Structure 1
Amino acid sequence: MKHKLLKTLKVLAFFALGMVIFWLVYKDQDIKRIESILKNDVNYFWVWVSLLLGLLSHVSRTIRWAIMIEPLGRRPRTLNTFLAVMVGYLMNLVIPRMGEISRCGVLARYEKMSFTKLVGTVVTERIIDVLMMLVLTLIVIGTQFGKLIQFLDNNPEVKQKLENITFSPVAILSVLGVVVLFYFFRQKIRHSALFHKLHEILQKFGEGLRTIQNMKNKWAFIFHTVFIWLMYYLMLYVVFFAFGFTTHLTAIAALTTFVLGTFGMVAPVQGGIGAWHFMVIQALVVYGVSKADGVVFAFLAHSSMTAMLILMGLVALLILPFVNRRKEESL
């Protein structure tokens, strides 16, 4: 009971943090002006194109996950895999980082697979995605270094946080402390029941991680990895054409905005609310877009993406029991 209460309070705290950031971003804005722009000055064709590209990225992520699961000796139904992915996105909007666990749980239940092994495949996915994000970040640093410096100069609080994370003595001492404790008590730790249980879990977990070594369709995996991130980028870029004040911006400006916005998504708040808006708005300011216009852009881009994930996630939750009813009745 206490654990559930603490978990609930943690979720509410993260949500409150996101809403506070969101409020700080929008509190001084002219709401009537925002409403007027959204009603009269937006080419919604490009918003629908953005949502289509987002859907393609989710389908591609489904196929890539299936490729990773195949070395485990199972071929889950494509529909179940897709619906599990959409439930995962929905759960990320409720509890940060819960989506990965949720989609593994859904697929494990309806396909009768090992939950731990599935988590291993998702961790591998996340490692690959982090590498992709690193590549895009290096491209932005290499081509837009001056703009990034300007971004940090415009936002000294972000610059200070980066310096604190990089040179934090608390973090360094904590890591050293854990290493020292493990070294002196390693024999007791290795013979404990908890260690053996963790070892068993890690073995299954490792099987999931090793799927990338044993997969047959490595080129298909690489293709879908690149395609997913291309769709993510284009999903934001095409929204630039929906507004007169961003339609002139270059593809590299969109990439910079995308990368900085993605870092906002890393913040422990549901769906990056507030943090994503702040990063995207400040990125657009660097490229000459007024803050007032950036606020409108960020609101529409984030709201449309979030609305699609909520809708598709809820639909996935509703239809999962029905598409698997016949299978469960036969057991």
Structure 2
Amino acid sequence: MNPNDTESLRTGTSWWKVVLAFLLALALLWLVFKDCDLNAILGYLKTIDPVYVVCTLIVGLISHILRAWRWIILLKPVANRSVSLWNSFYAIVSGYVVNLGIPRGGEVVRLVVMARSEKLPWPGVAPTVFIDRLLDLALLVLIFAAAVPFIPSKVHEQMSWLTSGSIALMVVTVVALALLPVAAPIMTRAKSLPMIKGHIPEGISHKLDDLIEQFHQGTRCSNDP
């Protein structure tokens, strides 16, 4: 095939991906707002100070860029090369869009988008998504812990579980971060048990070994990002 024809085919495929992504975003937005009163929403929008809207958009954009950069750091053990900041940003934003219509579905989408755009094994990318979310959870708990002294006593009386719940959540997060790097060895040992090993065909067993190794590669970012 002529190189120019190949390049044109790739360009056409890229445009189709953009169009499909745009149509998917429109469908998800319709799913989210189909039961809302659009006139009421437009009325509220007219009362909003545009300065605050612009500031919110800027802060949100910076936040997404920082998240994309953090994910690149987590992906270093998997990629062993430079990962595109744009691909990371695009995958994260795509996940947020899907979350509007399918709660938690965005995590799967961002994993697939990043794996395909950077040609990375999805079992290796998956642990970085888990670790990324656990870091978010840990940061959220730390922020809440810093805010606890400023919470009115009446709130503490009515919601006595706030402090204990935050401590429990932090413990679970730390334990999860600690156990994730040893998940692959545990899976390997479990697969080698006679009751399991004897029922797995050799071809599937080798495939599972590859998937476990790729998963283990992705967890290394928690030890040496």
* Structure 1 residues 80 and 37, CA gap change in structure 2 (3 angstroms): closer
Matches within 5 A, 1:223-238: none
Structure possessing the higher relative contact order (Cα contacts under 8 Å, 6 or more residues apart): 1
Matches within 5 A, 1:45-124: 45-72=51-78, 73-124=80-131
* Structure 1 residues 214 and 95, CA gap change in structure 2 (3 angstroms): same
1:166-203: CA deviation from partner (whole Å, max 9, x where unpaired):
xxxxxxxxxxxxxxxxxxxx752454429956565333
Does structure 1 retain, via aligned residues, the 8 Å contact 2:96–2:106? yes
Amino acid at match of 2:212: L
Asked if 1:208 is matched to 2:189, the reply is no
Unaligned runs of 5+ residues in structure 1 are 1-14, 163-185, 216-331
Asked if 1:137 is matched to 2:147, the reply is no
Percentage of pairs with the same residue: 28
Amino acid at match of 1:148: V
* Structure 1 residues 140 and 202, CA gap change in structure 2 (3 angstroms): farther
Does structure 1 retain, via aligned residues, the 8 Å contact 2:77–2:217? no
* SS of residue matched to 1:193: coil
Superposition deviation, residue 147 in structure 1? 5.0
Amino acid at match of 1:51: L
Superposition deviation, residue 151 in structure 1? 6.2
1:118-160: CA deviation from partner (whole Å, max 9, x where unpaired):
111111111111111121222233331525336649xxxx99x
Superposition deviation, residue 206 in structure 1? 2.2
When the two chains are superposed, the root-mean-square deviation of aligned CA atoms in Å is 3.8
Matches within 5 A, 1:1-331: 38-40=45-47, 42-72=48-78, 73-144=80-151, 146=153, 148-149=155-156, 152=159, 188-189=195-196, 191-193=198-200, 196=205, 200-215=210-225
Unaligned runs of 5+ residues in structure 2 are 1-27, 166-192
Amino acid at match of 1:117: G
Partners of 1:100 and 1:136 lie apart in 2 by 23
1:217-251: CA deviation from partner (whole Å, max 9, x where unpaired):
xxxxxxxxxxxxxxxxxxxxxxxxxxxxxxxxxxx
* TM-score normalised per structure 1: 0.41
* Structure 1 residues 120 and 44, CA gap change in structure 2 (3 angstroms): same
Matched residue pairs, number?
161
* Structure 1 residues 149 and 187, CA gap change in structure 2 (3 angstroms): farther
* TM-score normalised per structure 2: 0.58
Amino acid at match of 1:134: V
Partners of 1:87 and 1:36 lie apart in 2 by 29
Partners of 1:152 and 1:205 lie apart in 2 by 40
